[in-house]
Amino acid sequence: MSETGIGASVQRKEDFRFLTGQGRYTDDINRPGQLHAYFVRSPHAHATINGINKSAAEAAEGVVAVFTGADMAADNVGSLPCGWVVNDRHGEPHKAPPHFPLARDKARYVGDHVAVVIAETYDAARNAGELVEVDYGELPAVSGTGTALDSGAALLHEEAPGNLCYDWVLGDEAEADAAFAKAHHVTKVDLVNNRLIPNAMEPRAALGDYDGGTDSFTLYSTSQNPHLLKLILCAFVFGLNENKLRVIAPDVGGGFGSKIFCYAEETVCMWASKKVKAPVKWTADRSESFTSDAHGRDHITHAQLAMDENGKFLGMKVDTTANMGAYLSSFSTSVPTYLYATLLAGQYTTPVIFANVKAVFSNTAPVDAYRGAGRPEATYVVERLVEVAAREMGIDPAEIRRRNFIQPDQFPYQTPVALQYDIGDYDASLTKALEMIDYDGFAGRKAASESNGKLRGIGFSSYIEACGIAPSAVVGSLGAGVGLWESAQVRFNATGSVSVFTGSHSHGQGHETTFSQLVADTLGIPIENVEIVHGDTGSIPMGMGTYGSRSLAVGGSAISRACDKIIEKSRKIAAHLMEASVEDVEFENGTFRVAGTDKEKSIAEVAFTAYVPHNYPEDVEPGLDETAFYDPLNFTYPAGVHICEVEIDPSTGVTEIVDWVAVDDFGKVINPMVVEGQVHGGIAQGVGQALLENCVYDADSGQLLTGSYMDYCMPRADDLPSFRVGLTETACTHNPLGVKGCGEAGAIAAPAATINAITNALGILSMDMPASPEKVWRLANEQKMAAE
């Protein structure tokens, strides 16, 4: 292994510019004559818009224009689409009420976009925003996931009676009932998967720039997938030829899913730039991020697990209500269905699984994919069930998992919930994790904690995820409106450096490093000679972007394929230069050699020849610039075991995570340091959900009660222990790199591990997230009183 090749912990190339303040984010970009947008947002969770008087705002200093939903309607601007059609249990498509960029008839959540003011400065726009008079007719609101379907609940959309978006099933209910009828024991849990606010470090921003000379637009946006944004805006929202829009997503400071989607603000900035004939910029302030970024999670679930007398799983039934918020965000419908219920087999051989998911509308911000997207919710269901089952059956939690693991010789393994796992070794990860945490020593550590007045607990999470999203034909058959392949263009420059154009998008993941290692290693060139270009639809082949831990497994595979094409073309050129037949030319570490001779040519020499083809094979085109599109054959299935150990102070209810072991199987690893960083960040987000974070809307008014960092509690370094990370490896069988993806694992595994540890410490079966100090204190006291 070279110091910069595959498998090396190369320091991140991109960090120099980020750490020295030289990153270039959307808000750093300014265009001549640029104006600023301020959005007038609904202060009410649910209200009719009876009229909007914009004359005072229009007359205010510095104001160029004020637009409302009526202005966009007059221009035939369409609805923001939801790109995944979920068919309900009767085969009917989900209810898809319109989601206009500026509300037309009603405002449906606090923060809903009602008007936009365009002015010479942001302050002028905001000042004038206060002068826009909106005549609201306040309506009753419903914000709770558990109350949205109540008869008499406020109705959000005429198109969705009873606030039901869909009632969807997966699996055979009768078979599941039959399995349950044979059960020795049935474990039942009621779970709330708390709503989260993504909180990317960089708020969303957009800059729309219309060019009258060519009648075309450039949109700078904080997007995780600029090509997809372009496709949605052109094909669905504006009815615009795709050659008339260029989307640029420059450096982006975190997304976690929330920047996948097509939002109202960027749509309005683009549209308005043509109306006012000037570039229009908007950058969210943090309050707007809280109210209007797509939120995550928000499920209520009743789940049951049937077992025989040995704790062998016979069947699972899961009943979930998922909150979609007020409108359907771009991929919202797929999250609690195809990204959730399909993962309910976990790492286990549960033969029959039945899931019923009802998606509901409520007067809250839209909910969509957030780091893990459906898979954390599934893992939470499975791993809470398994833990409670172990306690009820009196079986050690590690042992009950072992008894039910899919065994290495069972792969490929067809689960009862549609997915086919290609490979894994779940016991290997568990065994390593048990060793690392010193499971045998836990009883001693628990006793030591007890003598200090603390309650110690240990919790497991054996998670699996479906990543490398996704085989296009499969997702197409499930309702996706897009293919989920990825593209890569690998271009040798004449003097030997390489530019790689990838449809993946980095917003913190370290692609510039990992992809460079992959290319440098494959082509045998110095890593400094590789440049990774992403985020500009004007210079990169159509690509699908970054989410679902897909960048390396799908985007990296495309890069690998493009490198293969480069090598194959180069081999022909090298053969010509060395006067050998192509079959006799070998390639290794950047050099072509004629087998059995001392003739050799470096790939850089070949590249130069390709651009200066004075001595060149007749049947080969000049240039060395290859593009590949890679459509995965299957999902990848990263899996592993996380073990959390906590100590609780019963006098305050404070939970301290005292140890955390993560053993993950991500397949082949390109950069272990980058992978470890991803694992750390994922665990931090998962612990955030389990202990700290909670998005709360007032049940009656629908006001967001956790609208700032004063009340919305983000995890911080001192909330977390030093993670101990280990790897096991079963290489993915169906992509050229053997990689699986690592970006979401921590967030998927951590919530269940944390809650399993806390409930273990307290000697109880269940509690809801987040495990706030007061909640834990009350439960600890109840246990103490019960004992006395």
Residues that bind other proteins (CB under 8 A): 126-127, 287, 651-653, 692, 696, 705-706, 709-714, 719, 772-774, 777-778
The least CB distance from residue 652 to other proteins, in Å, is 6
Instruction: Pick the closer one to other proteins by CB: 589 or 651.
Output: 651
Q: Which residues pair with 458 in a beta bridge?
A: 645
The vertex-760 CA angle with 757 and 765, nearest 5°, equals 115
Q: Residue 458 or residue 691: which is nearer to other proteins going by CB?
A: 691
Q: Beta-carbon neighbour count of residue 87 at 10 Å?
A: 14
Q: Which is nearer to other proteins, 621 or 774 (CB)?
A: 774
- 184 vs 716, which CB is nearer to other proteins? 716
Nearest distance from C-beta of residue 784 to other proteins, angstroms = 13
Tokens of 678: 């991803």
Shortest distance, position 270 Cβ to other proteins, whole Å: 28
Closer residue to other proteins, CB minimum distance, 18 or 777 = 777
Distance CA 475, CA 380 (A): 24
Q: 206: Cβ–Cβ under 8 A, 6 or more apart, which residues?
A: 26, 219, 220, 221, 222, 263, 265, 266, 269, 270, 281, 282
Tell me whether residue 161 or residue 453 sits nearer to other proteins (CB atom): 453
Angle at 351 between CA 346 and CA 354, to 5 degrees: 75
Distance CA 278, CA 75 (A): 18
Shortest distance (Å) from residue 710 CB to other proteins: 4
Q: Which is nearer to other proteins, 41 or 505 (CB)?
A: 41
Q: Are 41 and 292 in contact (CB under 8 A)?
A: yes
Q: How far is the CB of 283 from other proteins (least distance, A)?
A: 14
Nearest of 383, 225, 300 to residue 748 by alpha carbon: 383
Closest distance of CB 39 from other proteins, Å: 15
Stated length of the chain: 788
- Closest approach of other proteins to the CB of residue 653, in Å: 8
> Smaller CB distance to other proteins: residue 184 or 778?
778
Task: Classify residue 696 as exposed, middle or buried by CB count within 10 Å of its CB (0-12, 13-18, 19+).
Answer: middle
Alpha-carbon separation of residue 685 from 206, 530, 748 (angstroms): 26, 32, 9
Residue type, 408: P
Minimum Å gap between C-beta 776 and other proteins is 11
Q: What does DSSP assign to residue 20?
A: T
Query: Rounded to the nearest whole angstrom, what is the least distance from the CB of residue 679 to other proteins in the complex?
Result: 23
Q: Which is nearer to other proteins, 393 or 658 (CB)?
A: 658
Amino acid identity of residue 585, one-letter, is: V
To the nearest whole angstrom, how small is the minimum distance from the Cβ of residue 740 to other proteins?
34
Angle, nearest 10°, between helix axes 745-762 and 773-787?
Answer: 30
To the nearest whole angstrom, how small is the minimum distance from the Cβ of residue 196 to other proteins? 14
* Residue placing its CB nearer to other proteins in the complex, 416 or 653: 653
Q: Of 92 and 711, which CB lies nearer to other proteins in the complex structure?
A: 711
Nearest distance, CB of residue 387 and other proteins, angstroms = 25
Is the Cβ of residue 283 or residue 514 nearer to other proteins in the bound state?
Answer: 283
Q: Are 143 and 156 in contact (CB under 8 A)?
A: no
Burial class of residue 578, CB neighbours in 10 A (0-12, 13-18, 19+): middle
Closer of 285 and 621 to other proteins (Cβ): 285
Distance from first CA to last CA of the chain, Å, rounded?
62
Least Å distance, CB 512 to other proteins, is 30
Going from the C-alpha of 672 to that of each of 514, 517, 639, 729, the distances in angstroms are 10, 12, 16, 12
As a whole number of angstroms, the distance between CA 118 and CA 272 comes to: 8
Q: Which of 681, 678, 669, 687 is nearest to 461 (CA)?
A: 687
The CA-based dihedral angle spanning residues 113, 548, 481, 290, taken in that order and rounded to the nearest 10 degrees: -10
